[in-house]
C-alpha cells in the first residue's frame, strides 16, 4: 500500500476515534520505509499523542520536520505537536507555516496559540484575530483569542472572546471553566458562580472544577449548592489534591468571605493560569 493510501485509511480511523489502530497502521508503514513520508510521520505523532504516548509522539513530530516538509498545514500540525514539548524547533515551523500560508486560519491559529503561551501577546492576538476573520464560525480561534487576552491580564477582552466561543460551541465545558475564572478575576462573583457551577455539572470527572465551583458558590452564599458540588470532588476521575478539598471544606465552614478569599487569592488564579497554558 502506498503512502497516500495508508494516510487515507489512517485518517478514516482517526475520524472514528480508533487511535490505537491508526497508530499501529502508521507505525508499521513508517518502519517499512527508511525514508518515511512526512505526512505519515506527522499523523503517527497525532495518533500517539491522542493515546498519551508522549515519547513516540515527540519522535514522530521531530522526524516529520527533519524531512523538511514544505506544506504549511503539515508544518503547523507538526510544529504545534512539538510546541507541547517546548521544543525550540516548534517556533520556526509554526512561523514558516503562518508566513507561507497567511490566508489559512489553521496556520494563523496554531502560530498565534504558540505565541500567546510564549508571552508574545501582541503578535499572538494579531494572528488569532486574522484566523477568526478567515473562519468566523470556528470557535477555536475565538477560544484562543480569549486565552491570549487572559494571559495578557486583559480579562474584559478575554470574557468577550470566551462568551462568543460558547455561543458557537455551547458544549465546550473546558472554555466554560475558563470563562468562570475570568469572571472571578473581573469581580463578577455571581456570574462566576453560575458559570463554574454549570461547568462543574458538565465536567463531573474534573475534580478541580468541582472545588472551584464550590468556592465560587459559597462566595455568593449558595451554601447548599457549594457543599453538594464539593462532595463530588474526591470521587472525580481526576481528583484534586486532597489539601485543596480540606482547605475548601474549611473555607465553606468559615463563610462566604473565606471562600471568596481562597478562590480569588489562591485557587482561582493558579487554576486559570494552569489551564490557559495547556497546549492547543
- Per-residue model confidence (pLDDT) at position 247: 95
CA distance 30 to 32: 5
Examine the pLDDT at 34 and tell me if it is beyond 70. no
- Residue 122 burial by CB count (10 A; 0-12/13-18/19+): exposed, middle or buried? exposed
pTM of the model: 0.92
Q: What tens digit of pLDDT does each residue of 112-158 get?
A: 999 999 999 999 999 999 999 999 999 999 999 999 999 999 999 99
Q: What are the cell numbers at 200?
A: 462543574
- Per-residue model confidence (pLDDT) at position 241: 86
| Partners of 206 in the β-ladder | 238
**Which is nearest to 260 in space by CA: 224, 219, 223, 203?**
219
CA distance 57 to 49: 5
First and final C-alpha spacing in the chain: 33
CA distance 223 to 33: 62
Contacts of residue 20, defined as CB under 8 A and 6 or more positions apart, other chains included, come to 51
> What number is the average pLDDT over the span 261-275?
95
- Per-residue model confidence (pLDDT) at position 66: 94
Contact 215, 233 (CB under 8 A): no
Contacts of residue 44, defined as CB under 8 A and 6 or more positions apart, other chains included, come to 23, 26, 27, 30, 56, 60
How far from 247 is each of 81, 82, 196, 242, 263, CA to CA, in Å? 37, 37, 18, 9, 11
Q: Which domains does the chain have, with CATH numbers?
A: 1-69 (1.25.40.10), 97-170 (1.25.40.10), 173-280 (no CATH)
- Per-residue model confidence (pLDDT) at position 242: 86
Examine the pLDDT at 5 and tell me if it is beyond 80. yes
Mean pLDDT highest for which of 29-33, 67-71, 145-149?
A: 145-149
When the pLDDT of each residue in the chain is averaged and rounded to a whole number, the result is 95
CA distance 9 to 15: 10
Contact 144, 112 (CB under 8 A): yes
Percent of the chain at pLDDT above 90? Answer: 93
- Per-residue model confidence (pLDDT) at position 39: 94
Q: In which element (H, E) is residue 76 found?
A: helix 72-83
Amino acid at each position: 500500500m502506498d503512502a497516500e493510501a495508508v494516510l487515507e485509511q489512517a485518517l478514516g480511523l482517526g475520524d472514528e476515534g480508533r487511535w490505537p489502530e491508526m497508530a499501529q497502521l502508521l507505525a508499521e508503514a513508517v518502519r517499512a520505509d527508511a525514508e518515511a513520508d512526512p505526512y505519515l510521520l506527522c499523523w503517527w505523532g497525532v495518533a500517539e499523542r491522542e493515546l498519551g504516548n508522549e515519547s513516540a509522539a515527540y519522535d514522530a513530530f521531530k522526524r516529520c520536520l527533519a524531512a523538511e516538509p514544505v506544506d504549511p498545514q503539515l508544518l503547523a500540525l507538526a510544529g504545534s505537536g512539538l510546541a507541547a514539548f517546548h521544543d525550540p524547533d516548534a517556533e520556526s515551523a509554526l512561523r514558516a507555516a503562518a508566513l507561507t500560508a497567511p490566508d489559512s486560519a489553521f496556520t494563523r491559529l496554531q502560530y498565534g496559540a504558540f505565541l500567546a503561551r510564549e508571552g508574545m501577546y501582541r503578535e499572538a492576538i494579531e494572528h488569532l484575530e486574522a484566523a477568526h476573520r478567515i473562519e468566523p464560525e470556528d470557535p477555536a480561534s475565538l477560544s484562543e483569542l480569549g486565552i491570549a487576552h487572559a494571559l495578557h491580564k486583559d480579562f474584559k477582552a478575554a470574557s468577550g472572546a470566551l462568551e462568543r466561543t460558547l455561543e458557537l460551541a455551547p458544549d465546550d465545558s473546558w472554555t466554560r471553566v475558563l470563562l468562570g475564572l475570568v469572571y472571578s478575576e473581573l469581580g463578577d462573583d455571581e456570574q462566576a458562580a453560575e458559570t463554574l457551577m454549570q461547568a462543574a455539572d458538565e465536567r463531573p470527572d474534573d475534580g478541580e472544577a468541582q472545588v472551584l465551583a464550590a468556592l465560587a458558590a459559597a462566595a455568593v452564599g449558595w451554601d447548599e449548592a457549594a457543599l453538594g458540588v464539593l462532595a463530588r470532588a474526591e470521587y472525580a476521575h481526576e481528583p484534586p489534591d486532597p489539601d485543596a478539598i480540606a482547605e475548601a471544606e474549611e473555607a465553606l465552614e468559615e463563610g462566604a468571605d473565606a471562600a471568596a478569599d481562597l478562590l480569588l487569592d489562591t485557587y482561582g488564579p493558579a487554576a486559570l493560569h494552569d489551564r490557559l497554558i495547556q497546549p492547543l
